[in-house]
């Protein structure tokens, strides 16, 4: 008999939550619980990146309290089985700062988790909490990208973490992902696609190959995390500056570009756009808002390279990054980076086939959106996907 299990997947880069200790945490959690309450899922997967923030040596204790507060909250009391994996061993070479939490509702009976050591699924009970290096934990696979990946670049704490599940006879891989960021806006403008985009493409292909390798038979998968995907900056800047005078300012008579300034030709030569290594200041910020999403998406090209293996639900929400970290400006972007859909939930084509699309009354029952769109959630808005998983209950 065909059955349906309501599933909620959430990805959140929580770095700024810990960098601004405690300031926005209660609102952040309130918005998460609000999303859980409105969806009423039977299975919840929360994938966190940048656990502990930039100052992780100081903040890691607070990070543990954050996970504990979710696990023990009144809002989660009906989820009687929990799995928590937090990679907080910042002294280790393998440190990824990834954290994954899985909650199973008391009404969901037929669920098993894979043990990568014995290569078999086991039934799940109680609270299963692993905080540390995760070496030797057999129900999770964690990997930091190899150091020799790109010797010319300094990468830290980027990698992936995988768990594997059976829900009512339907197997799934859930993979927490953190890919490389754009270190410089100026470098991102130099080519299309940018060098950073090429690095992310290599890393994502590496993950897909790793989870499809021969060590255990491939299953439908969901990849969700901070992919750091950016808009094609060169193409976008060319579009934004079509009616502007563009000046390139070089550093100390060298060839190194220090600043790009786009001034309006009329209107008193008002600065329309200014780009520096860590500055992307565009005069008309409303351009990146919700009602302009369809025209912005044509510059969102990084997923396209994976259409052979990956699908994504239609994006209708504004870019998830970089939001202001000021409490009073929850819908404003910072002018540090070009806004982009960094935080994503992607799936294999086989996984998409198991998503139940319509209720009996014809209502679409798949929701892909941000958590806390009108509340300060830090520089990344968490992104969630809610759907009914079509399963067999033999």
Q: Considering the entire predicted model, what is its pTM?
A: 0.96
Closest C-alpha among 380, 375, 383, 20 to residue 181: 380
Q: What is the per-residue pLDDT for 212?
A: 87
Instruction: Give the residue extent of every domain in the chain.
Output: 2-232+282-392
* Cβ proximity of 100 and 223 under 8 Å: no
Paired sense of beta strands 2-13 and 43-49, if any = parallel
The reported pLDDT for the residue numbered 361 is 62
CA separation, residue 18 to residues 41, 74, 104, 377 (Å): 27, 23, 27, 11
Alpha carbon 242 to its chain's center: 32
Regions of the chain with pLDDT less than 70 = 21, 150-155, 214, 359-364, 393-394
- The answer to whether 186 touches 135, Cβ cutoff 8 Å, is no
Instruction: Report d(CA 67, CA 69) in Å as an integer.
Output: 5
- Predicted confidence at residue 35, as pLDDT, reads 98
Mean pLDDT of the chain: 92
- Determine the pLDDT at residue 21: 67
Strands 79-87 and 127-132: parallel
What is the rounded distance in angstroms from the CA atom of residue 330 to the CA atom of residue 118? 47
Predicted local distance difference test score (pLDDT) of residue 364: 61
CA 390/CA 142 separation, integer angstroms: 28
At 152 the three-state DSSP class reads coil
pLDDT score for 11: 98
Length of the chain: 394
Q: Enumerate residues 6+ apart whose C-beta is below 8 A from 297.
A: 315
Burial of 321 (0-12, 13-18, 19+ CB in 10 A): buried
Question: Is the bond preceding 193 in cis, omega lying within 30 degrees of 0?
Answer: yes
Superfamily for the 2-232+282-392 domain? Endonuclease/exonuclease/phosphatase (3.60.10.10)
Q: How far is the C-alpha of 371 from the C-alpha of 382, rounded, in Å?
A: 5
CB 244 within 8 A of CB 154: no
């Amino acid at each position: 008999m065909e059955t349906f299990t309501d599933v909620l997947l959430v990805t959140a880069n929580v770095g700024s939550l810990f960098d601004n200790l405690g300031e926005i945490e209660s609102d952040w959690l309130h918005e998460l619980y609000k999303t859980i309450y409105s969806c009423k899922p039977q299975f919840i997967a929360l994938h966190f990146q940048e656990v502990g923030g930039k100052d992780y040596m100081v903040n890691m204790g607070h990070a543990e309290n954050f996970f504990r507060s979710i696990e023990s909250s009144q809002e989660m009391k009906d989820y009687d089985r929990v799995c928590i994996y937090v990679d907080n061993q910042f002294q280790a070479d393998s440190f990824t700062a990834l954290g994954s939490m899985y909650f199973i509702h008391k009404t969901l009976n037929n669920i098993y988790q894979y043990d990568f050591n014995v290569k078999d699924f086991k039934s799940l009970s109680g609270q299963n909490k692993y905080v540390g290096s995760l070496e030797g934990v057999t129900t999770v696979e964690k990997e930091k990208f190899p150091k020799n990946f790109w010797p010319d670049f300094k990468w830290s704490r980027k990698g992936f973490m995988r768990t594997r599940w059976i829900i009512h006879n339907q197997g799934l891989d859930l993979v927490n992902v953190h890919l490389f960021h754009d270190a410089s806006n100026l470098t991102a403008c130099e080519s299309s696609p940018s060098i950073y985009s090429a690095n992310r493409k290599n890393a994502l292909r590496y993950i897909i190959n790793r989870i499809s390798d021969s060590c255990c038979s491939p299953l439908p998968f969901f990849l969700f995390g901070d992919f750091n995907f950016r808009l094609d900056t060169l193409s976008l800047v060319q579009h934004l500056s079509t009616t502007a005078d563009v000046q390139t300012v070089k550093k100390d008579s060298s060839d190194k570009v220090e600043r790009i300034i786009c001034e309006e030709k009329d209107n008193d030569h008002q600065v329309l756009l200014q780009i520096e290594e860590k500055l992307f200041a565009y005069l008309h910020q409303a351009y990146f808002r919700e009602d302009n999403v369809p025209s912005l998406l044509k510059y969102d090209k990084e997923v396209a390279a994976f259409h052979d293996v990956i699908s994504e639900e239609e994006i209708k929400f504004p870019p998830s990054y970089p939001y202001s970290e000021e409490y009073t400006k929850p819908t404003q972007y910072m002018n540090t980076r070009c806004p982009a859909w960094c935080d994503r939930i992607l799936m294999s084509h086989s996984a998409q086939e198991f998503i139940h699309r319509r209720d009996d009354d014809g209502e679409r029952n798949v929701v892909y959106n941000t958590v806390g769109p009108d509340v300060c959630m830090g520089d990344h808005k968490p992104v969630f996907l809610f759907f009914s998983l079509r399963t067999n209950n033999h």
